[in-house]
Structures are given as structure tokens and as C-alpha cells.
Amino acid sequence: MALLEVRNLVKHFPVEQGVLMSRVGAHVKAVDDVSFTVESGETVGLVGESGCGKSTTGRCIIRLIEATSGEIAFDGQDVLTLRGKALKEFRRQVQIIFQDPYASLNPRMTIGEIVSEPLKVHGVGTSGEQRKRVQELLDVVGLNPEHINRYPHEFSGGQRQRIGIARALALQPKLIVCDEPVSALDVSIQAQVVNLLDDLQDQFGLTYLFIAHDLSVIRHISDRIVVMYLGKIVETGGWKELYDAPQHPYTQSLLSAVPVPDPEKQRARERIILEGDVPSPIDPPTGCRFHTRCPIAQFPICAEQDPELREVAPGQRAACHFAKPFPIPPELRRSTVIGEGEGGAEGAAEAV
Amino acid sequence: MTPEHLNWDHDKDPDMIPLDAGGHPSRQSESGDHITASAGHIDVGEISTSSRTLWGDAWYRLRRNKLALVALVWIVFMILLAVTADLWVPQTLGDPIVLPQDTAAAKLLPPSADHPFGTDKLGREIVSRIIYGARVSLSVGVLAVSISLVIGLIFGGLAAYYGGLWDTLIMRTADVFFAFPYVLFAITLIAVLGPSYRNVFIAIGILGWPSIARVFRSSILSVKENEYVDAARAVGASDLRIMFRHILPNSIAPIVVYTTMSIGSAILSEAALSFLGMGVQPPTPSWGGMLSDARAFLFSAPHMMLFPGIAILTTVLAFVLMGDGLRDALDVKMKD
Amino acid sequence: MSKLLEVTDLRTHFFTRDGVVKAVDGVSFSLDYGQTLAIVGESGSGKSVTAMSIMGLIPDPPGKIVEGDILFKGDSMLAMEPAEVRKLRGDRIAMIFQDPMTSLNPVYRVGHQIGESLRIHRGMTKREAFDRAVELLDLVGIPNPRERAKDYPHQFSGGMRQRAMIAMALSCDPDILIADEPTTALDVTIQAQILELMIELQDRTGTAIIMITHDLGVVADMADDVMVMYAGKPVEFGTADEVFYKPLHPYTWGLLDSLPRHDVSEKGTLEPIQGQPPSLIRVPRGCSFHPRCPYARVKCVKEVPELVPVEGGHASGCHFSVDPSFRKGEAAVCREVV
């Protein structure tokens, strides 16, 4: 049995209009019929561009926002109907790490108070034991346990993120939802935090749902990956299959759009430049939601029929009528040769 | 390894140590080691300096704001004068209420060594009346704002916490208060209650709550959006805990600032009402009342107008500057 | 002939209550037509302040250019009258910012804003400027430009706003375009569009670009030359190939090893740089990278290294780069200082 099972999750936010009286009119279809599973001990990456619903999905799972419909089962237990004590018990087992290391720590509480809050709320141990546990946790995430009485503003972004991680670990949860935990950090610090999360997973047998927009980070940390676009899953699969042979044109475009830190490869690379912007989730396109930007869309089928997520290879599923490895043919890809016709590019490298 | 290893201590000479066998002091390769080993590496010198609480930090920043400091000194000075007045003012400077024996000779004297601020139309010492007036002004200011604060915090908190109908009801009521001209509203209230010291601060206090409710409500609403509130909910913290541990401590800074400034404007309102005869009744000295008395002698005895005017101006200004200074000092984001 | 832009030993310091922040402390480089220079670094490295210094947009107080010079076509921009600098800014040197949401004024129509610098610098009439704005919007790939020019910024999406910003920056055919993290706030597919657009426009107009970014992928995509900055100082300068394939400075090595890659078939291990970036008020003495450097020796604590050419134009600000055996993957890790 999977540790976490999400079935047909839907979250629609009402759009408030009017000044005097708030009238409910349109809805933002943030998450629309999303299903996936997370096995115990693995890391599932949830990736997509802004507005694809990945964060909303994560927050529905930990019950920070209430889902509109669907089912979420954690350890076989129905999460969405939990109330009172049972909900509190669920919160012991599922934790979250936030994106913003500045907004996610209460500036008026000390590090000790922040990390011990979960212990206090759940009445774990005496205050002496709690203090000891906090110091252990700080040590585990690579902070000096003596800093227990300091305030968040005395720490840098990377260190604050470690504090957030210590808080999430305090109750020894089974599942941690990591909501863009490294996107606000500098490259060198990002690698520290990614390694820390990796190590903690080995050490404590954690399961991660890792939400991010950075495809390189997602690939590095995930065992399986779920790609979302406009509130729907477009493709899922093991990290290797998904990156080596993406079967949905959106996945393929997304991967080809990420610049690679290698100038020669970058020059030789073919990429797919998608036209236009992501449509509004208030009024998403009919049929396949990607058809308005898809380089291989065929009409009328793509605009009329919503493709279902189907198995396209062992362990890999894609929601596309024309899914196949590298669905976008080479003639539709563009290779940009930079440096061409730019005289002096080499010679101008002047010593300073 | 200890945290000191990477401190940027500019004064100490770096020690030299023999190399590790692996020669890799800062990158332990085993993942288990990595965690504990890294404990020694992410601390920087900055953090090793003394820890300051946020309030301590705010005080530190306030102290560096000269203008706010001058304002604070002025306010404290006025308070001291007002509190200790009974002990020394009547004896040394002259009684503020009881008329002097030779009224005719003492009337409308300009400032001099014997009469530092001059005397008024009844021969009373203006300096004494100013000091006693400070009692009225400051106490009305503080009491009125306390009333506004209690009502405003309750209503603002209810509106922000429950939202929906409560919010609409309370905030629309506040809008109704805002819609009336302030002084007219106050005069009407006092006309109903009857002019007296107590009724002045009650009226000003009642009229002041909507602004405080509004500031408090928006402050709570913006703090509510912070992820640390979500984090507390995710941990399973109760609504009460979230309110008192997370939302309130972070919402009060704007209230502290606004309250300080409100005292200034309450003092101004009191002066205005007393000037109109709707405030503290004679013979109790109040700055607004003194100004009112001075109207007839604007040209013949300008000092009667001057000193109460200066007293109002400086005191109100001091509260406003103080509020300004507090705003900068309490702003967490202002940290360099 | 003098270079298009020459920056020599630029030092921009901020005098704050807590001390002097040496945001830029000794930056030199030069730039020619059609060339793209990428300035890479993490937050606090001084890359944005470098750009603001060139634009003459350093708030004074607390900021001040305390040393060095900025030569535009041989003329010192620091010696110019403010009016002359204003004439250059927006006309010969244009800038695009990170946040397309806040860099357009919400109360003016997009076409009006794009035409603004044409009216100021070229003395065009409203009508002419608007027509030119429409052409520019078309150039940066906005569909129905004549209609869209009449829209307000909030009617544009993030990617379209950044396109409008580029149109605005290009309106006077600038010689230099400074792009400060132009794609950081955008999604990858939009980033790809914008980078492609910038490359295309550069091919067409020959504008020199200074690209300020923390993203080494963007650097590899755009740059001819790369300057890596750390704590206000350049630590490495070279062509993109030199910096990516034969990096000289241990900080650059660290950056490259910190990056997860999606273009290699197996997952590598990430080798982060230990520690935190320094506070610019109390920059470590000697080499500012020494507290985090796995190769730091006594000399690194005692002496500030200079940025010196090592191979051709490829320069490094590390004491040991002149030693040909001190190279990425070859250098023996030997931290003498603790």
C-alpha cells in the first residue's frame, strides 16, 4: 500500500468580485482531477511552472487548504475527513518545509521556541527533554546547538531554511512536503540544503513530496516525477525515463527550455520555444489544456477531447493523444547558434 | 571542529593545523558524517556576536534616531512636570487657579524674571497654568487613547479573526464614524453628555476606535498571510495558540506606532474642544482653554497666546515624531 | 580606438549606520559592440551594484563611487554633468530589470511608456513615438502590437511585460543593454522565449549586452565573456568556454560542482561550497573566499589576491592559479588554515 494516495483531487478557488458585497462568480481551477501515489521512503517530485497547481496540491495534502473534492489517503486513512484529535495526530506524521526562509519563521520567537513548538503542541516530553531534543535537531541540520536562544533575523537564508527543516523533523514525521525548499537560496547554499535533505532521508527513512519549478533540482532529488500543467498532470514516470525520453510535448518543451551550464552543449542544443503564455486557470482551454501552445496539436481532437493519463511505457504515463518518446519532431525544434557573426567575441576577452 | 574554525576573526592570527589524512577538512564524504561535521562549518562570525532580542534591537535603533530621542525626552519631561506639579509649582511659581491678592496690579503682565511666562487676564501665572494644563492634556490624551485602544482592538480583532459578517458589520460601522466630521461629532457627543473633563476623554476615546480597529485588522490580516502561521497550523497548533503566539506579537508593532501618534492627536482634539468651550471647564487650566482666553488679548498680550500654543505644538509634535521613530525602529524589514 | 565601455577599478561603497558596505570593490572590465558579458555571482556579490554604478543609479547617500572610472567611448561618465549622464541613460545605455511586474508604471499605457524615451531623447512627437512603440512591440514578438500598445501594464502577462521592457530598453537603439536578472522572475518556457529574443535582437542590432545573473545555464546560453564575482570583487574573468571548461578559481569550481545537472545521464553528487557568503561590512581579510575555500593556505589569510591574467585573457583572483597543477579536479585539497 502506498504511503500517500491522492485520487481525483480538485481545488477550485472562488474569484471574489465586487467591492461592497463579495459575490462568487468564476473559479480558479488550481487543481483539477489530480491523482498520484507516493510510496514509503521514496521522493516524488512535483514539477511545473507557476500556476500549475503544484503548491496547492501540496497544501491540500497537509490540510492547510481544504480540497474541493477528491480523496487523499495517508497510510490507508482518509485525510480529508479528519477532524479534531485525529487531524492533530495526522499532523504529527506529515510536515512541510516552506519556500521562503524569511516568511516561514516567526521573527518574534527564538530558534529554540520555533523548533520546540511542534513538541509543545503535541505535549512531547518535559521542557528539559524538549530543550535537549531541539539541540539534537539543530545539530542534525548542521546548526550550532548553542544558538537556541537566537532570533531568526540573526541567520542567513540557508541557515534559516535549516531551522525550518529542524522544525519539520521535530515530530519524526513519515512524510515531508517540501514546497520549493531551495528556490529562494543561492546556488552554493542550495546544494548544501539538497544534500542535507538527502542525508536526512537516509538517516530517518523519510518520504518526500518535493515541489519545485527547477527541473535540475527535481531530477537530482526525485525517484519519480509528476509534471503538472494548468492544474492537471501531464506526465509521470521514473526520473530517468522522464528525462531521457519525455513522452508529452509539454515535458519535452520544458526540458528543452532549461539552459544547461555548458556553453558547447548549449550552442548545439535544439530547443523548443513554446509560443505565448500559460492561459488563465480561471478559463482553461477546452480539451487538452496544452493545445493552445502545443507544437504538435492536431485539430479538432486536441481542442475537444481531454486526453487521459495513460501508460505509455512501463512506469511512465502521459496525458497526450500523441504521446511517444520525443513527440516533437526535430524539424520543429530550433537550434540557436550563438556567437555567429559576432566578431571580436574571442578577442575581446581582455585581462582586467 | 568547532564553530570558531570559520569565524572571521580579524584580530586573531589563524592557527595552522596539519592536514587531515583525507586532506578535506570542510567536505566530509560520508553522508552520516556530513551532517554532524557540517555543524562546524555553517556558522559565521556574524552570528557569534551578542544576540539581541527584537525589542532590544528596536530600542537600539530608536536610540540612534536623534529626532525620536529628543521627542522622547520632551514627553518624559512633560510627564514629570505634570506628575510632580502639586509638590512645587504653587509654592515656587504661583498658584494656577487661586487669584493673587492684588489682582489689578498682576493682570496681563508680560514675561519677566518674576513671571517667566507672564500672567493672564486674572493675574494668574501662565507658567503654572501651562504645567497644570499638561496634566489635563496628557491625561486626556492617554485616557482617550486607552478607550479607543480597548474598543479598537476588540473590534479590529473580531473583524480580522472571524471575517465574513462580523468583518462587514464592524468595518462598515467604522466607515460610518469616518463619514462624520470629527469635531462636529465630538461636539454633539459632549453636548449630550455635558462638558466635563471625564466626558471629553470619553468622547475623544469613542471617536478614536475606528482607526485603531482598522490598523489592527489590516495588521492581523497581513500577518496571517505569513508562512509561519501556516507552519504552526501544519504542526497542529490550536487557533488560540496561533493567535497569541504568532499573530498578535507580530501585529502589535503598527498598533504601538499608531497609538503613540493618536495620543498626539487626542491632545490636539482636547485643545480644540476646550478652545470651543466644550472641554475641561474653568477654572481648571487647559491649554485649549488658555488659548480661548487669549483671543481677546491677541495684540495687547500676545504671550497669553504664545505659550499655550507652543506647549500644544511641541507636545503633539513630540508624539508624532516619537511614533515615526517607533515605526522605523520596530520594522523588522528595515534591518540592514 | 577606445572601447565601447571600459570600467577600471570601480569601487562603490555604501556608508550605512552599521559600517561601510563595500558592495563593489575593485571591478574592471571592458565591453565591445555585439559582445555579451555575463556577470555571475550569488546574492551580495556586487553584481547588481556594478550595473547600477554604470547606469549612474547609485542612491547617494548612502552609496558612493569612491574609486575607479567608467569610460563610455573613452569619456569618463563619472566626470560628466548629471544632465549628460541622463542623456546617455535610456538612450545609449539602457537597462532591463528583474521584476517585470514593478518596472512598468501601472498608470500609463504600455505604448506611451515605450515611447517616452523617444520623446525625451529623440524629440519625437507623441504620434511618432507611439508608431515607433508599435514597431518595437512587434519586434519583441507581441501579437497585435497596435492594439496592445493601448493596453495598461496589468493587462500584460509577466512574459509580455518583460518583452515590453525590452522594447522600451531598445527604443533608442542603445549601444549597451544592461540586463539585471531579466528572466529570474519568469517561468522556464518564458525564460527561453526572452533569452532567444535577446540573442536575436543582438544579432540584428549589434548591441552589447551586460547580463547579470546567478544562473550558470543562462550564462552558458548567452555569454561571450564571463566575470565571476564574490564579495564585491571579480574572482575570475574569461571567455565562457574558459570559465566553464578550464575554471581557475576555487570559487568557480565550487559553483560548478554545486549545480545539479539535468543534461548528464547519471545523477552526480552535489559538492556544495561550505559556509555562508560573508557580510560585506566585515569582509574576511586576505582572500575573501578563504573561510569557505578547501584549498586555503596561510597566504590566503594574509594577502589579498589580485586578479591577474593566467592564460591569455583568462584571469583569476586566486594566489595559486599561476601554478599549472592547481586546476579543478587536480589540485590537492589542502586546507592549512582553520
With contact defined as 3+ CB pairs under 8 Å, the chains touching C are A, B
CB-CB under 8 Å, B31 with A198? yes
Pick C224's closest partner by Cβ from A192, A213, A348.
A348
Cβ A64–B234 below 8 Å, yes or no? yes
> Which class for A331: exposed (0-12), middle (13-18), buried (19 or more C-beta within 10 A)?
exposed
- Chain A hits for B47, Cβ within 8 Å: 144, 147, 150, 154-155, 159
pLDDT, position C226: 95
Taking only the tens place, the pLDDT of each residue in A215-237 is 999 999 999 999 999 999 999 99
Mean pLDDT of chain A: 88
Contact A58, A181 (CB under 8 A): no
Per-residue pLDDT band for C246 (boundaries 50, 70, 90) equals very high
pLDDT band at A350 (very low <50, low <70, confident <90, very high): very low
Cell of C72: 563610455
Chain C residue at shortest CA distance from B47: C279
Share of chain A above pLDDT 70, in %: 92
Calpha distance A229→A250 (Å, rounded): 8
Average pLDDT of span C270-299: 87
Q: What is the pLDDT of residue B7?
A: 34
pLDDT of residue B1: 35
- pLDDT score at A24: 55
Best residue of A24, A144, A155 to probe chain B, by most B CBs closer than 10 Å: A144
Residues of A numbered 193-212 whose beta carbons fall under 8 angstroms of chain C's beta carbons: which are they?
Answer: 194-195
Q: For residue B14, is pLDDT > 60? A: no
pLDDT band at A327 (very low <50, low <70, confident <90, very high): confident
- Higher pLDDT pick, B49 / B155: B155
pLDDT band at B24 (very low <50, low <70, confident <90, very high): very low
Name the packing angle between helices C126-139 and C110-121 (round to 10°): 120
Q: Which has the higher per-residue pLDDT, C105 or A227? A: A227
pLDDT digit string, tens, across residues A91-131? 999 999 998 888 899 988 999 999 999 999 999 999 999 99
- Using the predicted structure, report yes or no on whether residue B281 has a pLDDT greater than 60: yes
CB-based contact, A182 to chain C, within 8 Å: no
Cell numbers at C36, concatenated: 555579451
Write out pLDDT tens, residues C328-337.
888 777 777 6
Query: What are the pLDDT digits (tens) for B89-114?
Result: 777 777 777 776 766 677 777 888 77
Residues ≥6 apart with Cβ < 8 Å to B17 = C336, C338
pLDDT band at C1 (very low <50, low <70, confident <90, very high): low
Cell representation of residue C159: 512574459
| CB within 8 Å: B26 and C294 | yes
Q: Which domains does chain B have, with CATH numbers?
A: 3-42 (no CATH), 54-329 (1.10.3720.10)
pLDDT of B32 strictly over 50: no
Please compute the mean of the pLDDT values over residues C16-41 and round it to a whole number.
89
| Residues A30, A111: Cα–Cα separation, whole Å | 34
Note the pLDDT of residue B333. 52
Least confidently predicted of A284-298, B118-132, C62-76: B118-132
**Position B335 pLDDT exceeds 60:** no
Q: Do C42 and A262 touch (CB under 8 A)?
A: no
Band (B23; pLDDT cuts 50, 70, 90): very low
Question: What is the average per-residue pLDDT within B252-277?
Answer: 91
**Residue B22 binned pLDDT confidence (cut-offs 50, 70, 90):** very low
Q: Using omega within 30 degrees of 0 as the cis cutoff, is the peptide bond preceding B3 cis? A: no
Q: Do C274 and B19 touch (CB under 8 A)?
A: no
Read off the DSSP letter of residue B334. Answer: G
Residue A225 CA, chain-centre distance (Å), reads 10
Give the global pTM. Answer: 0.81
For cell 491522492, the residue is: A6
Provide the mean pLDDT of chain B: 79
pLDDT at B29: 32
Contact A26, A80 (CB under 8 A): no
Q: Which of B31, B249, B335 sits opposite A108 (nearest CB)?
A: B249
Q: Does A277 touch chain C (CB under 8 A)?
A: yes
Q: Are A50 and A213 in contact (CB under 8 A)?
A: yes
**Band of residue C183 on the pLDDT scale cut at 50, 70, 90:** confident
Picking from B14, B22, B42, the nearest residue to C275 by CB comes out as B42
Instruction: Please check whether residue A238 is in contact with residue A222, taking contact to mean a CB–CB distance below 8 angstroms.
Output: no
Evaluate if residue B27 carries a pLDDT over 70.
Answer: no
ipTM score over 0.90, yes or no: no
Give, as one character, the DSSP assignment of residue C336: -
Tell me the three cell numbers of residue A341.
Answer: 557573426
Confidence of residue C338 (pLDDT cuts 50, 70, 90): low
Comparing CA positions, the residue from A54, A60, A7 lying closest to residue A35 is A7
Question: What is d(CA A277, CA B304) in angstroms, rounded to the nearest whole number?
Answer: 71
pLDDT digits (tens, 9 = 90+) for A47-92: 998 889 999 999 999 999 999 999 999 999 999 999 989 999 999 9
Give the C-side interface with B, CB within 8 Å: 16-18, 271, 274-276, 278-279, 282, 284-285, 291-292, 294, 298, 301, 332-338
